[in-house]
Amino acid sequence: MTRLPFGLGGTDDGRDGDGDGDGVRTDSLRTGSVRTDGGETPNPFANVGDDIARKQLLGRVFVGICGASTLVGIVALFVLLGDVLYEAWGWVTLDFLTYPPSRFIENYYPDGRGAGIYPALVGSILLIALTAVFTMFLGVGAAIYLEEYAPESRLKSFIEANIANLAGVPSIVYGLLGLAVFVRFVGLGESLLAGALTLTLLILPIVIVSAQEALRAVPDSQRHAAYGVGATDWEVVRDVVLPAALPGIMTGTILSLSRAIGETAPLIMIGAATSMFRAPIEDVSGIPVPDLFGPFAAMPMQIFDWARLPEGDFQHVAAAGIVVLLTILLLMNATAILIRNKYEK
Amino acid sequence: MSGSSDVADLTRAGSDIPAGRNLAVRGVFFACALLTVLTTFGIVVVLFDGALGFFREETLFGLLSGVLGGVLAGSPAEAWAALRTGLGTQVTVREFLFGVEWSPIIRPRSYGVLPLLWGTMLIVVGSALIAIPVGTATAIYLSEYADRRVRKVVKPTLEVLAGVPTIVYGFFALSFITPIIQRFFPGTGTFNVAAGAIVVGVMIIPMVSSLSEDAMSAVPDELRNAAYGLGATKFEVSTDVVVPASLSGVMASYILAISRAIGETMAVTLAVGMQPNITLNPLEQAQTMTAYMVQIGISDVSVGSIGYQSLFAVGLLLFVMTLGMNLLSLWIKGRYQEAYR
C-alpha cells in the first residue's frame, strides 16, 4: 500500500504527514472503521484536540524558523554595509578621490600629503564605458538575431543553451580566455582595451538574455502593423522594435555593467596592474584622451591591493575604496531603475 | 485568388528592393549571436592548449606549428621528431589528479592538485551548509507565508546580496567575520576556511532563495487547495506538497549555487589564504583552485613557465567542474520538471 499524504489510509508507521511522528490520525481513523463487533468503541476524536494544538505549535515554530532565515540574509546585508561604512568613516575625503595611491599610510591621513583612488577610479570608469559600447552592440545584435530573425531551429536552441552555460562559467576562466586571446594572441598587452574586451565577453550572456526579454515584451501587433505598411525586416527592427525595447535594453545593460565594474578576478588574470600611480589618460596636444593601449588599474584591483597590506590602517583605506566602488554601483543601479520606472507602463 | 486578369499581381512586388541590405543586416546580427558560440569554443581551446602545455612538453599550438614546420620543410622525419618531443610527458595526469602535494613553482616541485581541490571542497561544503537551509527556508517563507508587499521588498533586497562585488565579501570576512571567530577560538589565524565559507554561504543565499522561490510559486494553487481540503495544515502543505512539487527547481538552484561557490574567487582569496592544505580544521588556512590562479596572476611568472601553464590546467579542471554542475542542473530541471497544465 502506498502512503498517502496527511495520514489518509496507508500504513501505521507514524509518518502521517503532520511531521510529529505519532501517527495519531491514522490510528484513530482506522480504529473507527475496523471495529464492527459492536464492542466498546473508543471515541475516535478523543485525541484530536491535542493533535490540533500540537500542529498549531509546529506550524508556528516552522513559520518562526522560515521568517528568521529570511532575516539572516537581510541582516547579513546590513551588517556588511554597516561594517564597510564604519571602517571607512572619515577616510573618504576629497583628497582620497583626487590623489594617486601610496605605499605609506601617513599619506592617507587627513593631514598627510594626500593619497587615494584617483587612477583606479578613472580606470574603472573608462573600462566600463568601453565595455558598455561593446556590449550594447554585440549583446543587442545577438538578441535581435535570436528574437527577430532566427527561425525556431536546432541552431537557435543550441545558441541559447550555449548562452545559458556561458553565464555559469566562473569569471576567472574568462580571465584566462582574455589572457590567451586578447593579451597574448592579439597582442594588446595588459591594456585597457584588453580588459574591456574580456569584461565584454564575461557579461555578454547576461546582456543578451535581458535584451531578449525586452524585445519579447514588444507586442507582435506593432510588428505586424509595420509589416502591413510594407516595412522590411530591418525597418521593423530599426523603427518599431528597437525604440520600443530600448528602455528595457538599457536597464538590463546597465545592471550587467554594474556586475562588470566589481569584477576583479578576470582583470587579475589578464595581468592588469593592482596599483597604478597614473590614470590611463594621455595628453594629445592638450586634450585628455583615454589611453586604450596602456596599462591601467581598476577600483576592485586597487581595493584588493589595499586589503592585502598588513598594516592595520590600510583596512580603512580599503573600506574607503569599497565605499567609492559601491557608490558608483548604486548610481548605476539607480539609473537603471529610473529608466525602467520612467518608461514602464 | 480573384479571377480578374486586369488587376496586377502584386504578391511578389517589392520583395527584391532592399533584399541585399536586409541580408547584410541579418548577417551582422547573426555574427553577434555566433560570437557567443565562439566564446565557448575559445574557452575550450585556450584551456586545452594551455593544459596540454602543462602535461606535455608543448602546447597544442606549439605542437601544431612544430609539425607543420616539419611538413612544410618537406621533412616528415622533422615533423615526427617535433611530435615526439612535443608530446613528451612533463606532468602525468595521474600525478595531477591524485598527488597530494601542490608546489608547481617552489622546489621541490610537485603537481598534485588535490590540496587545491580540497580547499575548494571545504568552501563548497561549508557554504552549502549555510546557504541551503537558510535559502530554502527563506524561499518557503516568501512563497507560502509572506504577503505580497513583504515579498516585493524582501526579494530585491536579498538579490542585492548577489550584486555586491565579491571583493567586498573578502574584505568583510577579513574585517568582521575573522575577528569574531578569533574571539571564540583564540589562535585562529588571519586567514581561515571558516570565514571564507561563511561569506560565500551568505553570498549564495539569494541564488538558492530566489530560484527556489520561483519554483515554489510556480506550483499551482489547486495542489495546495486539494491538500487543505484533506485537512492538511499550512505547515503540511508547505513541506508535503509545495516542496516535493517544486523539488526539481529547488535542486537545480542548489546545484547552481554550489557551482557559483566553486568558481568564487576574490572572497576566498582574501579570506582563506594562499597555503595549499589538506585539513578538516576550518580554522586553518588553505587555498582554493581559484585562489591559486589569483596567486599566479599577481606574481610575475614568465609566460611559458610551468607556473604559467599550471594556470590553464587548474582552469580546465575548474571549467569542467562548473560546466558539469550547470549541465546537471539544466538536466534535472528538464528531466524532473512537473509540467502543470
In the predicted model, what is the mean pLDDT of residues B220-226? 92
Q: Could you write out the DSSP letters of every residue in A252-281?
A: HHHHHHHHHTT--HHHHHTT--S--SS-SE
Segment B302-330, tens digit of pLDDT: 887 888 889 999 999 999 999 999 999 88
CB B302 within 8 A of CB B203: no
**In angstroms, rounded to a whole number, what is the distance separating the alpha carbons of residues B97 and B92?**
9
More confident residue, B270 or B86: B270
Q: At A275, phi and psi to the nearest 5?
A: -145, 130
Domain contains A69: no
* pLDDT tens-digit map of B196-222: 999 999 999 999 999 999 999 999 999
Instruction: Give me the residue from A5, A68, A300 closest to B167, CB to CB.
Output: A300
Which residues of B fall within a CB distance of 8 Å from A227? none
Q: What is the reported pLDDT for B337?
A: 65
How many other CB atoms sit within 10 Å of the CB of residue A325? 26
> Is A150 found in the same domain as A291?
yes
Mean pLDDT of A275-282: 77
Once rounded to an integer, what is the mean pLDDT over residues A159-178? Answer: 92
Residues of A (26-65) whose Cβ lies below 8 Å from B:
55-56, 58-59, 62-63, 65
Q: Which domains does chain B have, with CATH numbers?
A: 19-90 (no CATH), 110-336 (1.10.3720.10)
pLDDT given for residue A39 in this prediction:
58
Tell me: pLDDT of A144 over 90. yes
- pLDDT computed for residue A26 by the predictor: 44
Of A229-233, A310-314, B33-37, the one with minimum mean pLDDT is A310-314
Q: Which candidate in B12, B38, B39 is best for mutational testing of the A interface (most A CBs within 10 A)?
A: B39
Of B39, B232, B239, the CB nearest to A201: B39
Candidate ranges A126-140, A225-239, B22-36; pick with highest mean pLDDT: A126-140
Whether residue B339 has pLDDT greater than 80: no
- B266, B301, B303, best to mutate vs chain A, most A CBs in 10 Å: B266
Check CB contact of A304 with chain B, cutoff 8 Å: yes
Contacts of A218 by beta carbon, 8 Å cutoff, 6+ apart: A240, A241, A244, A245
Q: Are residues A41 and A129 in the same domain?
A: no
Does some domain include residue A132?
A: yes
The answer as to whether A256 is a domain residue is yes
Q: What percent of chain A is modeled with pLDDT above 70?
A: 86
- Nearest beta carbon to residue A168 from set B136, B241, B256: B256
Burial class (CB in 10 A: 0-12, 13-18, 19+), B304: exposed
> For A177, which residue in chain B has the nearest alpha carbon?
B43
Q: Which domain holds residue A46?
A: 5-57
- What's the average model confidence in pLDDT over A312-327? 91
Separation CA A218–CA A157 (nearest Å): 21
Q: Are A199 and A274 members of one domain?
A: yes
> If you measure CA to CA, which chain A residue comes closest to B191?
A308
Matching residue, cell 464492542: A39
Q: What sign does the CA torsion over A239, A240, A244, A245 have? A: negative
On whether residue A193 sits in a domain, the answer given is yes
Residue type at position B42: G
A-chain residues within 8 Å CB-CB of B311?
Answer: 176, 269
Q: How many residue pairs bridge chain A and chain B with CB atoms within 8 Å of each other?
A: 284
- Residue B311 CB partners (closer than 8 Å, separation 6+): A176, A269, B50, B293, B296, B297
Task: Decide if A188 contacts A182 (C-beta within 8 A).
Answer: yes
The confidence score (pLDDT) of residue A102 equals: 82
The grid coordinates listed for A93 are 575625503
Q: pLDDT digit string (tens) for B153-200?
A: 998 888 888 889 999 999 999 999 999 999 999 888 889 999 999 999
Q: What pLDDT does residue A17 have?
A: 43
For residue A187, report the phi and psi dihedrals to the nearest 5 degrees: 85, 30
Q: What is the pLDDT of residues B116-166, one digit of tens each?
A: 999 999 999 999 999 999 999 999 999 999 988 998 899 888 888 888 999
From residue B252, how far is each of B214, B246, B255, B322 by CA, in Å? 12, 10, 5, 13
Q: Letter for the amino acid at A146?
A: L
What one-character DSSP code corresponds to residue A296? Answer: -
Distances (CA, A) of A175 to A190, A233, A264, B257, B293: 12, 37, 9, 21, 10
pLDDT for A32 beyond 60: no
What are the helix and strand counts (H, E) for chain B? 16, 2
Would you place residue A29 in the very low, low, confident or very high pLDDT band (cuts 50, 70, 90)? very low
Same domain, A52 and A129: no
A332-342 tens-digit pLDDT: 989 988 888 88
Here the cell at position A65 is: 524558523
Residue B155 DSSP class: H
Would A195 be classed as within a structural domain?
yes
CA B295 vs. chain centroid, Å, equals: 20
Residues of B in contact with A176 (CB under 8 A): 43, 46-47, 50, 293, 311-312, 315
- Considering only residues 83 to 122 of chain A, which have any Cβ-Cβ distance to chain B shorter than 8 Å? 83-84, 87
pLDDT given at position A50 = 74
How many residues can be counted in chain B? 341
Instruction: State what percent of residues in chain A have pLDDT above 90.
Output: 44
Q: How many domains does chain A have?
A: 2
pLDDT of residue B87: 81
With cut-offs at 50, 70 and 90, classify the pLDDT of residue A189: confident
The band of B18, judged by pLDDT with boundaries at 50, 70 and 90, is low
A65: in domain: no
Shared-domain flag, residues A259 and A131: yes
Are A39 and A125 found together in one domain? no
Provide the pLDDT for residue B15.
57
Q: Tell me how far apart the alpha carbons of residues B27 and B21 are, in angstroms, rounded to a whole number.
A: 10
In tens, the pLDDT along A63-94 reads 999 999 999 999 999 999 999 999 888 888 88
Rounded to the nearest angstrom, the minimum Cα separation between B73 and chain A is 25
> B-chain residues within 8 Å CB-CB of A169?
43, 263, 319, 322-323
Retrieve residue B267's grid coordinates: 572572497
Cell numbers found for residue A31: 480504529
Are A59 and B234 in contact, with CB atoms under 8 Å apart? yes
A52 and A199 in a common domain: no
Window 127-166 of A: residues touching B by CB (8 A cutoff) are: 137-142, 144-146, 148-150, 158-159, 161-166
Closest A-chain CA to B25: A234
Residue B239, Ramachandran bin (φ over 0: left; ψ between -120 and 50: alpha; else beta): alpha
pLDDT range class, residue B9, cuts 50, 70, 90: low
What pLDDT shows up at residue A11? 41
Which secondary structure element, helix H or strand E, spans residue A282, and what is its range? strand A281-284
- Claim to verify: residue A117 and residue A216 sit in the same structural domain: yes
Task: Judge whether residue A150 has pLDDT over 90.
Answer: no
Residue A275 to residue A297: CA distance in whole angstroms: 6
- Chain-centre distance of CA A51, in angstroms? 45
- A163 lies in the same domain as A310: yes
Answer whether residue A66 is part of any domain: no
Q: What are the residues whose beta carbons fall under 8 Å from the beta carbon of A192, sequence distance 6 or more? A: A123, A126, A127, A130, A280, A290, A291, A292, A293, A294, A296
Enclosing H/E stretch for B195: helix B193-217
What is the radius of gyration, based on Cα positions, of chain A?
Answer: 30
- Whole-model pTM? 0.85
Contacts of A190 in chain B (CB under 8 A): none
Chain mean pLDDT for chain A? 83
Residue A86 lies in a domain: no
- CA A8, chain centre distance (Å): 45
CA distance A179 to B50: 11
Burial B229-262 (b: 16+ CB within 10 A, else e): ebebbbbbbbbbbbbebbbbbbbbbbbbbbbbbb
Split at pLDDT 50, 70, 90, the class of A196 is: very high
- Main-chain dihedrals φ then ψ at residue B59, nearest 5 degrees: -75, 170
ipTM: 0.88
Give yes or no: residues A237 and A332 share one domain.
Answer: yes
The residues that bridge with A289 in the sheet, in sequence order, are A282
Cβ neighbours of residue A41 closer than 8 Å, sequence gap 6 or more: A31, A32, A35
| Residue A236 β-bridge partners | none
* Reported confidence tier of residue A213, pLDDT bands at 50, 70, 90: very high
| CATH of residue A276 | 1.10.3720.10
What is the per-residue DSSP string for A120-175? Answer: HHHHHHHHHHHHHHHHHHHHHHHHHIIIII--SSHHHHHHHHHHHHHTTS-HHHHH
